[in-house]
Amino acid sequence: MNRTVLAADLGGTNLRMAVIGEDGKILYRQKHETPKTEKTDEIINAFTELSQQCISAVKNNGEIVAIAAAVPATINAEDGIISKAPNIPALDGFRFSAAVSSELNLPVILENDANSAAVGEQWLGAAKGFKNSICVTLGTGVGGGIIIFDRILRGIDGTAGEIGHICVEPLGAPCGCGSRGCLEQYSSATAMVRLARELENQYPKSILQNKTRCTALDIFEAGKIGDDLALEVFRQMGFYLGVALAGLVNVLNPEVIVIGGGAAAGWELFIAHVQEQIRKRAFHEPAERVKLVRAELDDDAGILGVAHLAFEKLI
């Protein structure tokens, strides 16, 4: 029988699950809304119910040997505890692995979602073949995962890798983390929309002036046809991303930096600005070495990565 892992991406909005083989092939997938609730039980019930659906759907298709969950949270990987989950506060301090394991009778692996995505990209995606990679996800926020010689960089409390909260503008925009001028306030999809609003008075001819609810996708579409305001937004998000990455290049000497998330769609409009800052600011040798590549696994990076961790740790 083929051995498989049931991998889950437990996000603030959606709970996505997939049954994944040892080769990374996705055999089955299913999705459900994450319950909006303060009750831990309701979330865990939704999780175990969807798990049972997946398990029965593939029962003739291999043996599920573990559950693997990627969550947007600071976690204690060793003990399977969710320390802090800003988007799902009902799970703060919850012994996730023990609870799910006793419901489903399978071993459970727990990992932070950005770390999982970094592992996924290194296993099967844009960082395949490398041992030292940094993965940056430009979405609603800016997520980060750092892998050094095939090991996730966690720090002593499991909080390492928060690339989105590197300060790039000391007196800049306030951030949800309590600091100011974090990368997330300049290079996320959310930040791009704010930058467009802040700059629009200087670009009266921009087609974005006519948008009542401008999105990052609108900015991308406008940039593709040469709209000056859109191009300035991409220049700024690329500049700030480059400033942060140049620092990481100097500190960590990575082989590859993988950039993904919704805002990475505008790759050709910002990547030259990122490269310019790395070239200007980082030491010559690591700057020459590092490759900037676009993520390849999209939304599946996290579930694939955490499934890989389960195969490695439990089997």
Binding footprint of Zn ion on the chain (CB under 5 A):
165, 175, 177, 179, 182
Strand partners, 92: none
CB-side exposure of 89: number of CA atoms within 13 Å? Answer: 3
Strand partners, 4: 21, 64
Neighbours of 265 (CB within 10 A): 17
Q: Which residue has the tokens 């909080």?
A: 159
Per DSSP, the chain holds a count of helices (H) and strands (E) of 10, 12
Angle between helices 189-199 and 216-224 (to 10 degrees): 70
Could you tell me the two tokens for 166? 């590197």
107 vs 75, 99, 267, CA distance in Å?
A: 17, 11, 39
The three-class DSSP label of residue 29 is strand
According to DSSP, residue 129 is labeled T
Residues 271/193, Cβ–Cβ less than 8 Å? no
CB-side exposure of 281: number of CA atoms within 13 Å? Answer: 19
